[in-house]
Chain A
């Protein structure tokens, strides 16, 4: 079983601050996705990264896939209260493991106005 460790587990910051959350594994992933989940709802896809070293930007969010495709980070610039939620990373394995999408336990972000 491939494990994804996310850190920090909880993060509470003031509006306007920057933050980075991390997703690490000892396994190689064919692709990695980031989702955001709000209370009472299912996770919603933010981005997919597939190439080692890839960087993708989505407005104030910057996602990076590690060169070895074992880790990823999500950086948020000038956080806003609307960014509050549970951020989940999820990786697909290689070969036969590519059918399964494994999730980390998430980082719960609170942005205080």
Chain B
């Protein structure tokens, strides 16, 4: 058990809809990362927060947004969903952003857009 909790585990929704994925980091970890994993693209970095502030942005679509709250949990909002957004979405946390800091991953949310 990594200590990172993601909910829900599975999500099925229709095109055009909006969903929110939630992540609770490991106790004591200040940094949260969001990744998207698909079969053809692998693990793609979306966005990172550290202690409530956005620190790095990857290939995150404008239809996607995220935030980290004062209690350090994070939410990833996906809107105007398209079929191609179907993927596994992982949240990870780390205690710091220093080089070498390990990431602890949750078990992901599997999003299916129909």
Q: List residues of A whose CB falls within 8 A of some B CB.
A: 1, 30-31, 33, 35, 40-45, 48, 50, 88, 90, 92, 98-106
Contacts and interface: CB of A to CB of B under 8 A. Distances in A.
Nearest to A96: B56
Given A30-B99, A42-B106, A103-B43, 18 more contacts: A33-B102, A40-B107, A43-B43, A43-B90, A44-B2, A48-B100, A88-B43, A90-B43, A99-B50, A99-B56, A100-B45, A100-B48, A102-B45, A103-B44, A105-B42, A105-B43, A106-B42, A106-B43
16 contacts: A41-B108, A42-B92, A44-B2, A44-B105, A88-B43, A90-B43, A90-B103, A98-B97, A98-B98, A98-B99, A99-B50, A100-B48, A103-B42, A103-B43, A103-B44, A106-B43
A43 B105 contact: yes
Contacts, number: 66
A103 B104 CA distance: 14
A42 B2 contact: yes
Nearest to A29: B99
Interface of B: 2, 4, 33, 35, 41-45, 48, 50, 55-56, 58-59, 90, 92, 97-100, 102-108
B25 to A, nearest CB: 13
Greatest chain A CB density within 10 A among B43, B90, B100 is at B43
Contact of A99 (B42, B55, B105, B106): B55
A42 B99 contact: no
Given A42-B2, A99-B56, A31 B43 contact: no
